[in-house]
Amino acid sequence: MTKPRQTVVIVGAGIGGLTAALAFARHGAEVFVLEQAAELKEVGAGLQITPNGLRVLEHLGLQDAIGAASIAADAVVPTDALTGQAITRFDLTAQSPRYRFFHRASLQGLIGRAAQAAGAQIYLGARATSVSQDGIVQTTNGPMRGDVVVGADGIHSITRTFCDPSASEAKFTGQVAWRGVVPMQNMPAQAQIWMAPHRHVVTYPLKDGLLNVVAIQERQTWAEEGWNHADDPENLRHAFADCAPALREVLAHLETPNLWGLFRHPVASRWTHGPVALLGDAAHPTLPFLAQGANMAIEDAFVLADCATKAPTIAEGFARYQALRRPRVVRAIETANANARNYHLTGMARGVAHLGLKTLAAVAPNAFLNRLGWLYDHDVTA
């Protein structure tokens, strides 16, 4: 007997929500996406999408659009931010598919357009205010009901509270991030990680002659409400004033940085409840030190749509989804947390770590990719 067509209501049109919209629509579901923002735009930020995330997007038919909208990465280059010297260079050219650099808005746009072309309907300016056991989502535009409700509503998720009422509020990690783009032509296709005591900067090129800049600094407090504020660029320049001229030159061109407090809460213990399933930052906010938050959201979305539409019942599909996803996500988050510590080392530990990186690259040039093989080589579509 053929199953009745599922109605899926997705809360949040970020990278995770839109990928879920496309994946569910490809499975023949009737899909509605509710997004609180009046338009889909995020200015001044890039995203690194790694082979594990790209496999999903390619499987969903986005290969050509990806090629046109992004830059294929040649390398990751850890650099001493104080001297400006590259410590080593991890070559990425042998990867398939190849690590890529996107403008976040371009990636969001291309997934959103594909989801709409596959039949998903996206409602902007529609904020969800609550979800209930019978699949009813109350919104600022009236109620909607789904056989499946996907909570893709990011770090301050309301759907997370429904699935995991014991979940604690997100807590400040003691780190802030400035983000922005600088006009710069002909930059090498590499992610450069500029490491200094208690801080680091990641730079990589985007399409249209832009260089994406993310600068992280350790801080005691983050008092302001919200998490995305325009900041005086002099604060950023001051934080890296003792760094090498090449880095200061980049930061000198950053005119309108946004300052973002980094928050974390433990990975939700329960990702599903009744007809509701969480994905992406709603289930597991991921610090940006392994460039995996959006990649994990993309993987989650694919696996959720696959499990929920193919299992005999939604409950069985949801159980399989959480079992498949939670251990992998926890490992990615722990690896990102370790990177945060390693990038910000001080004193002797810093010198030893840099020497270790150099030596490792000399004796085992593929060590970096091999160490992350469990992450990059994984294929959730297989």
Does the footprint of ligand FAD cover residue 99 (CB under 6 A)? no
Task: Among 6, 9, 16, 196, indicate the residue that binds ligand FAD (CB under 6 A).
Answer: 16
Distance CA 238, CA 228 (A): 20
Binding positions for ligand FAD, 271-290, rule CB under 6 A = 280-282, 286, 288
CB of 292 to ligand FAD, least distance (A): 5
Q: Which two tokens stand for residue 61?
A: 């038919």
Burial class (CB in 10 A: 0-12, 13-18, 19+), 280: buried
* Beta-carbon count within 10 A of 109 CB: 16
Q: Could you tell me where the beta strands, DSSP code E, fall in 12-147?
A: 30-35, 46-49, 70-72, 75-80, 90-91, 100-103, 121-124, 128-131, 136-139, 144-145
Distance CA 292, CA 346 (A): 25
CB of 248 to ligand FAD, least distance (A): 20
Q: Which is nearer to ligand FAD, 287 or 369 (CB)?
A: 287
Q: Which stretch binds ligand FAD (CB under 6 A): 12-20, 23-31, 233-241, 270-278?
A: 12-20
Does the footprint of ligand FAD cover residue 179 (CB under 6 A)? yes
Q: Which is nearer to ligand FAD, 281 or 354 (CB)?
A: 281
Nearest to 274 by CA among 139, 188, 148: 148
CB of 349 to ligand FAD, least distance (A): 25
Half-sphere exposure of 164 (CA within 13 A, CB side): 20
Does the footprint of ligand FAD cover residue 180 (CB under 6 A)? no
CB of 13 to ligand FAD, least distance (A): 5
- Contact 219/239 with Cβ under 8 angstroms? no
Q: Which is nearer to ligand FAD, 153 or 164 (CB)?
A: 153
User: Strand pairing partners for 200?
Assistant: 195, 216
Binding mask 208-237 for ligand FAD (x = CB under 6 A): ------x-----------------------
Site residues for ligand FAD per CB under 6 A: 11-17, 34-37, 47-48, 127-128, 152-154, 158, 177, 179, 214, 260, 280-282, 286, 288, 291-295, 297
